């Protein structure tokens, strides 16, 4: 069942799920300033969601209507827990489910999840089917890698295709390679051929080392993938997916204004549930590539709370004869997002 995936223009552009990054505040900022076709949550444990303490994890699934289509990414290795989680996600109104089969974190792998599933494609098939049987109106997708120790993507794709997922995203590195080598996009065309040969409507998306929207479109043209998933390339630039800017880098004033908006939104959504230091990973992306960035970055990274960060940012603006509270440059204000990618109305598909 393809669901909303069949309604999207090609190439499909997707915000990658990133642990500790793509939370509700970050996704809402991205959706506001340069929305991709699809947004995906941080991955969340199905075992945890089926435990008495699941209430603590549900915060990972906070989303807003402007983010649609919004897909929940989950991890684990027990079909029964995937089925229960799929039922939960359906009641929460998600538009799709993505199964993480690529995370190389050792603690995740110890649970037989993430990249460990590459060694057990029959389990991947069982997990996809468990989700689809439990929530038949939600399209189920898979995110994986080229292989575990070696490249085995053709065999892996053929096995996963047995479950007929709506889409498969391939990060173009093996688990062993981690991020130590450049993403191997040169292998994408042969992977596309494997999926096409199946005769299924399954989409194939590519992921890894994409630094601009223009590059994403070029890679899609060169390789034939149906879409591109972007992760680290969006750090510090929520306008990444907005084609109105032709990959122009944002000016520092706009970056810092959005950084403060993001900070206050984080506080509003998560309050005492997430500690302030979580925000510091975003500051590294916002406070870079402009004169004085290094000094300001040191200050905000040493700050103890959002109020201290704002004081440093206000002082920086004042030192440059600028005002933090002044309107953002006209072309980068939220209404510019109206020129961003056309996204289908989420399908709770027939």
Among candidate residues 50, 101, 103, 131, the one labeled active-site is 103
Q: How far is residue 191 CA from its own chain's centroid?
A: 22
> How many degrees, rounded to 5, is the angle at CA 65 between CA 61 and CA 67?
70
Q: Helix (H) and strand (E) counts for the chain?
A: 12, 9
Does an H or E element contain 35, and which?
none
Q: In terms of Cα–Cα distance, which of 23, 16, 17, 26 is closest to 262? A: 26
Q: Tell me the torsion sign for CA atoms 213, 215, 219, 222.
A: positive
Q: How many CB atoms are closer than 10 A to CB 285?
A: 17
Six token digits for residue 306: 């959002």
Beta strand segments in 102-218, E = 140-145, 167-171, 203-207
The DSSP bridge pattern shows strands 140-145 and 96-101 to be parallel
Q: In terms of Cα–Cα distance, which of 223, 220, 296, 226 is closest to 255? A: 296
Q: CA end-to-end span of the chain, whole Å?
A: 9
Residue 34 and residue 239 in contact, taking contact as beta carbons nearer than 8 Å: yes
- Between CA 163 and CA 73 the distance in angstroms is 17
Tell me whether residue 131 is one of the annotated catalytic residues. no
- Between CA 344 and CA 266 the distance in angstroms is 27
Rg of the chain over CA atoms, in angstroms? Answer: 20
Residue 172 half-sphere exposure toward CB, CA atoms < 13 A: 26
Please give the positions annotated as active site.
Answer: 103
């Amino acid at each position: 069942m393809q669901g909303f995936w069949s309604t999207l223009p090609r190439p499909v552009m997707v915000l990658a799920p990133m642990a500790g990054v793509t939370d509700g505040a970050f996704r809402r900022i991205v959706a506001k300033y340069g929305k991709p076709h699809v947004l995906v949550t941080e991955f969340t444990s199905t075992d945890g969601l089926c435990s008495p303490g699941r209430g603590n994890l549900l915060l990972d699934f906070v989303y807003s209507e402007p983010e649609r289509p919004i897909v929940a990414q989950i991890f684990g290795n027990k079909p029964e827990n995937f089925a229960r989680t799929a039922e939960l996600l359906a009641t929460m109104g998600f538009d799709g489910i993505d199964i993480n089969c690529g995370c190389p974190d050792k603690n995740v792998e110890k649970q037989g999840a993430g990249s460990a599933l590459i060694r057990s494609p029959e389990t991947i098939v069982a997990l996809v089917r468990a989700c689809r049987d439990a929530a038949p109106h939600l399209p189920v997708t898979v995110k994986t890698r080229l292989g575990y120790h070696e490249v085995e993507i053709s065999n892996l794709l053929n096995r996963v295709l047995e479950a007929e997922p709506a889409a498969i995203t391939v990060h173009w590195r093996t688990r062993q390679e981690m991020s130590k080598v450049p993403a191997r996009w040169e292998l994408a065309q042969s992977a596309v051929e494997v999926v096409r040969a199946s005769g299924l409507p399954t989409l194939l998306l590519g992921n890894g080392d994409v630094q601009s929207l223009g590059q994403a479109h070029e890679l899609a043209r060169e390789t034939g993938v149906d879409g591109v998933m972007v992760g680290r390339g969006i750090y510090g630039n929520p306008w990444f997916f907005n084609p109105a800017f032709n990959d122009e880098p944002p000016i520092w004033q706009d970056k810092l204004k959005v950084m403060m908006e993001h900070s206050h939104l984080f506080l509003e959504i998560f309050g005492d549930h997430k500690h302030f230091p979580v925000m510091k990973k975003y500051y590294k992306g916002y406070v870079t590539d402009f004169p004085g960035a290094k000094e300001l970055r040191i200050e905000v990274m040493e700050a103890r709370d959002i109020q201290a960060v704002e004081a440093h940012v206000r002082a920086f603006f004042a030192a440059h004869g600028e005002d933090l509270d002044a309107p953002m440059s006209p072309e980068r204000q939220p209404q510019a997002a109206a020129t961003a990618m056309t996204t289908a109305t989420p399908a709770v598909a027939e």
